Structure 1
Amino acid sequence: MAAITPGTGGTIKSAMLEAHLLEIIAFGKQQESTPARNPAPQKNYIQGYTLTDTLFRCNLSIPVNRVTNENGESVYTTPDYLSGVTFTPGSNGTFKSGNFAAYLIEVVLYAQELERDSTKNPSGADRINGNFDINPNVFSGSVELPISPGVTSDGKPTFTAISYLLT
């Protein structure tokens, strides 16, 4: 299991990386789908949110800005492209970014790092991809997570991410 520390008082609560990633994607999509937060023209950077064959699939294309710092290094920042989103990373958690889009990118990059390490990814799965493209100024990526569907006692459908990475 890829355990992480959710920030105390943070918006995203899951303590397993794959579930944390699923939760921040669902949170972001919910915010993008709220007209008051995403006035016309509609901005949908979290695309292709589907559930099939016990897999959750999502494509991302999130706006970023690149600058060169005083040491000549590229630094990417993620603007808060929606209005009025209440989001906090909490304190003392694994992830620190202050807006949900930057936080999502941070979680994707962390998961990619674990996937690259064969001791953390013994199955060799390549389910999470992301990269920065400075020409259109976007972070593009895709996520494919194994899930377990279920139904609560009151009939509400649920889906839970299945861990495949280790920490």
Structure 2
Amino acid sequence: MEDTRWLTDEEQQVWRRLVHLVTVLPAALDAQLQRDARLTHFEYLVLAILSETPGRSRRMTDLAGLVNGSQSRLSHLVGRLERRGLIHRERSTEDRRGSVAVLTEAGWAAVVAAAPGHVAHVRSLVFDQLTPEQVRRLGDTLAAMLDRIAPADSCPGPTNPC
């Protein structure tokens, strides 16, 4: 116990705020997307990643890594999105063993319809109360934390936004 580097009072306060944020933010994002687009945030994230990928398709294993979800969770989610006509699966042309999730035209339309409200909500929750300097510092802080926790190639998006 003597070697433990305990958090300072300030670090403890910041840590508790961060834990609270990562707890309440997903629920707030889910509530808006479910109300306005009948999508969960996880569903929206999958559709958005596919919409930004050339060919609007990704290997299921790659997609699971990008959304930080298990293969099983992603498979169930893609099944639900398939039943709604937003995604379809096909065999990989590379090895014929893997599956590829492909965004349908209806899926594209769903992302296009949901994006403006989602972006407005994200702006309202995260950015509107911050100055440009605070946004830059937050970006730098998150990048430093992600460098320690998640490799850069695990970040979603076509140009590695992490």
Query: What TM-score bracket applies, with the shorter chain setting the length?
Result: 0.3 to 0.5
- Larger RCO: 1 or 2 (CA < 8 Å, sep 6+): 1
- Give the helix-richer structure, 1 or 2: 2
TM-score (norm: length of structure 2): 0.33
- Give the strand-richer structure, 1 or 2: 1
